[in-house]
Amino acid sequence: MDKKALEALLSEMSLEEKVMQLVQIPGSEYEADAEITGVTRGQADEKVKRLAGSTLGVWGSKRLKKIQENYMKEHPHHIPLMFMLDVIHGHKTVLPCPLGQGATFDPEAVKKGAAMQAKEASSDGVHATFSPMADLCRDARWGRIMESTGEDKYLNSCMATAMVEGYQGEDLKDPEHIAACVKHFAAYGAGEGGRDYNNTELSEHTLREHYLRAYGEAIKKNPAMVMTSFNTINGIPATGNTFLMKKILREEFGFKGVLISDWAAVGEMINHGFAEDQKDAAFKAMMAGVDIDMTSGCYSGYLEELVKSGEISEKMLDEAVLRVLNMKNDLGLFEDPFREIDMEEGASVTEESRKLARKTVAESLVLLENKAQALPLRKERNAFIGPFVNTKRLQSSWAFSGEDENTVTVFEAASEIYESGNIKFAEGCTMMDQDSVTARGVCHMENWQEENEKLLSEALEAAKWADTVILCLGEDSTQSGEATSKASLKLPAVQLKLLDELSKIGKRIVTLIFTGRPLELADVAKLSDAMLVCWLPGTEGGNGVMDVLSGKTSPSGRLPVSFPYTVGQEPLHYDMYSTGRPKPASGPSEYTSRYLDCENGALYPFGYGLSYTTFEYSGASLSKEKMTSGETLTASVKVRNTGDMKGDVTVQLYIRDITGSRVRPIRELAGFKKISLEPGSEEIVSFKISEEMLRFWTAEEKWDSEPGRFNVWLCDSSVDGETLEFRLD
| Catalytic positions, written as ranges | 262
Rounded Cα distance, 172 and 184, in Å: 22
- What is the closest distance, in whole angstroms, from the C-beta atom of residue 389 to ligand NOJ in the complex? 31
Do 521 and 566 meet the contact criterion of CB atoms below 8 Å apart? no
Residue 265 beta carbon to ligand NOJ: minimum distance, rounded to whole angstroms: 8
Q: How far is the CB of 274 from ligand NOJ (least distance, A)?
A: 18
Q: Measured on CA atoms in the order 236, 238, 239, 244, is the torsion positive or negative?
A: positive
Does 86 bind ligand NOJ (CB under 6 A)? Our answer is yes
Whichever of 183 and 323 has its CB closer to ligand NOJ, that residue is 183
Q: Please list every residue from 373 through 432 that binds ligand NOJ, using CB under 6 A.
A: none
Could you give the CA distance from residue 247 to residue 328 in angstroms, rounded to a whole number? 26
520 binding ligand NOJ? (CB under 6 A): no
Query: Nearest approach, Cβ of 287 to ligand NOJ (angstroms)?
Result: 22
With CB under 6 A as the contact rule, the residue among 21, 24, 28, 37 that binds ligand NOJ is 37
In the shown chain, the binding pattern of residues 203 to 242 toward ligand NOJ, with x for contact by CB under 6 A and - for none, equals: ----------------------------------------
> Hey, how many other C-beta atoms are within 10 angstroms of the C-beta on 512?
25
Closer residue to ligand NOJ (CB): 13 or 180: 180
**Min separation Cβ 327 and ligand NOJ, Å:** 16
DSSP string, 643-711: SSS-EEEEEEEEEEESS-SS---S-EEEEEEEEEE-TT-EEEEEEEEEGGGG-EE-TTSSEE--SEEEE
* Closer Cβ to ligand NOJ, 397 or 613, answer by number: 397
Which residue number, 209 or 268, has a Cβ lying nearer to ligand NOJ? 268
Footprint of ligand NOJ on residues 165-204 (CB under 6 A)? 183
Q: How far is the CB of 346 from ligand NOJ (least distance, A)?
A: 21
Rounded CA-CA distance 51/72 in Å is: 9
Work out whether 152 is an interface residue with ligand NOJ (CB under 6 A).
no
552-569: b (≥16 Cβ within 10 Å) or e: ebbbbbbbbbbbbbbbeb
Closest by CA to 477, choosing from 544, 547, 388, 406, is 388
Closer of 37 and 123 to ligand NOJ (Cβ): 37
How crowded is residue 424: how many other Cβ atoms within 10 Å of its Cβ? 20
DSSP reduced 3-state for 369? strand
CB-side exposure of 15: number of CA atoms within 13 Å? 15
| CA 365 remoteness from chain centre | 15
Angle of CA points 501, 505, 511, to nearest 5°: 65
Cα–Cα distance between 430 and 402 in angstroms, integer? 24
Count of residues touching ligand NOJ (by CB under 6 A) = 9
**Coil, strand or helix at 205:** helix
Rounded-to-integer distance, Cα 448 and Cα 541, Å: 27
Residue of 130, 283, 672, 696 interacting with ligand NOJ (CB under 6 A): 130
Q: What span, in angstroms and rounded, lies between the C-alpha atoms of 367 and 370?
A: 7
Provide, rounded to whole angstroms, the least separation between the CB of residue 49 and ligand NOJ.
19
Q: Within a 13 Å sphere around the CA of 173, how many CA atoms are in the beta-carbon half?
A: 8
Count of beta carbons in the 10 Å neighbourhood of residue 712: 25
How many CA atoms within 13 Å lie on the side-chain side of 339? 33
Candidate residues 209, 262, 363, 570; the one interacting with ligand NOJ per rule CB under 6 A: 262
Residues 261, 327 contacting (CB under 8 angstroms): no
Which residues from 41-70 bind ligand NOJ, rule CB under 6 A? 56
Among 38, 80, 223, 647, interactor with ligand NOJ by CB under 6 A: 38
Cα 89 from Cα 350, distance rounded (Å): 16
Least distance CB 37 / ligand NOJ (angstroms): 3
Q: Which is nearer to ligand NOJ, 130 or 612 (CB)?
A: 130
> Of 183 and 328, which CB lies nearer to ligand NOJ in the complex structure?
183
From start to end of 475-556, where are the E strands? 508-514, 530-533
Least separation in angstroms between residue 503's CB and ligand NOJ is 40
Residue nearest to ligand NOJ (CB): 37
Residue whose CB is less far from ligand NOJ, 38 or 428: 38
- 401 vs 543, beta carbon nearer ligand NOJ: 401
> H or E stretch including 70?
helix 61-74
Nearer to ligand NOJ, 142 or 263 (CB): 263
Q: How far is the CB of 405 from ligand NOJ (least distance, A)?
A: 24
Q: Is 482 one of the binding residues for ligand NOJ (CB under 6 A)?
A: yes
Mapped onto helix, strand or coil, the DSSP state of residue 23 is strand
Q: Any contact of residue 293 with ligand NOJ (CB under 6 A)? A: no
Nearer to ligand NOJ, 91 or 558 (CB): 91
User: Is residue 296 a contact partner of residue 261, using CB atoms and an 8 Å limit?
Assistant: yes
Q: What are phi and psi of 384, to 5 degrees?
A: -95, 110
Check: CB of residue 297 under 8 Å from CB of residue 19.
no
Near ligand NOJ by CB under 6 A: residue from 263, 565, 608, 672: 263
Q: 3-class SS at 425? A: strand
Q: What is the CA radius of gyration of the chain?
A: 26
Residue closer to ligand NOJ by CB (options 87, 530) is 87
DSSP state of 610: B
Minimal distance, residue 54 CB to ligand NOJ, in Å: 12
Q: Side by side, which strands form the sheet with 366-370?
A: 366-370, 530-533, 508-514, 468-474, 382-385, 423-426
Rounded to the nearest whole angstrom, what is the least distance from the CB of residue 154 to ligand NOJ in the complex? 23
Residues that bind ligand NOJ (CB under 6 A): 37-38, 56, 86, 130, 183, 262-263, 482
